[in-house]
């Protein structure tokens, strides 16, 4: 687990959504009405496009490219149930910061591993 600070808790309100940067990745934070803040990869799983223009009605995230809707509580596609869901990230609130675990960091390249032994 490697949590990164995404934004302060004041950056999002119940019923709201925001697209944030964490490292090189974009993170979509949504706070469904009556629910808990959720974090998703900031790209649509349908065609892997950024969700910059996505809309949120307090329950579902709408990707405007093909108008698919995703349940903000779990990321499931509600337009086509058999399709991929939004990719969820673990989220935690520490003090007044929202932190998201984007997964394991890519290991540093080690040229010694996997290379041929010296002649
Ligand atoms: S790219 Fe998002 S619904 Fe098609």
Domain map (residue ranges) of the chain:
3-101
Is it true that domain 3-101 has CATH number 2.102.10.10? yes
What is the number of the ligand 1 atom nearest to the C-alpha of 44? 2
How high is the mean pLDDT of the chain? 91
Alpha-carbon distance values, 45 to 6, 51, 86, 108, 114 (Å): 21, 10, 6, 28, 33
112 CA to middle of ligand 1, Å?
Answer: 42
CA–centroid distance, residue 25 to ligand 1 (Å): 19
Pocket of ligand 1 (CB under 6 A): 44, 46-47, 49, 63, 65-66, 68
Provide, rounded to the nearest whole percent, the portion of the chain with pLDDT above 70: 87
pLDDT by residue (tens digit) across 53-67? 999 999 999 999 999
């Amino acid at each position: 687990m490697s949590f990164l600070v995404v934004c302060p808790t004041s950056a999002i309100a119940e019923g709201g959504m925001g697209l944030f940067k964490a490292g090189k990745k974009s993170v979509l934070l949504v706070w469904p009405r009556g629910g808990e803040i959720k974090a998703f990869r900031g790209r649509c799983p349908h065609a892997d496009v950024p969700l910059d223009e996505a809309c949120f009605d307090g329950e579902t995230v709408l990707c405007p490219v093909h108008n698919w809707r995703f349940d903000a509580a779990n990321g499931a596609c509600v337009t086509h149930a058999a399709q991929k869901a939004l990719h969820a990230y673990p989220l935690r609130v520490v003090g007044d910061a929202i932190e998201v675990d984007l997964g394991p960091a890519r290991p540093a390249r080690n040229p010694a591993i996997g290379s041929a032994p010296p002649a």
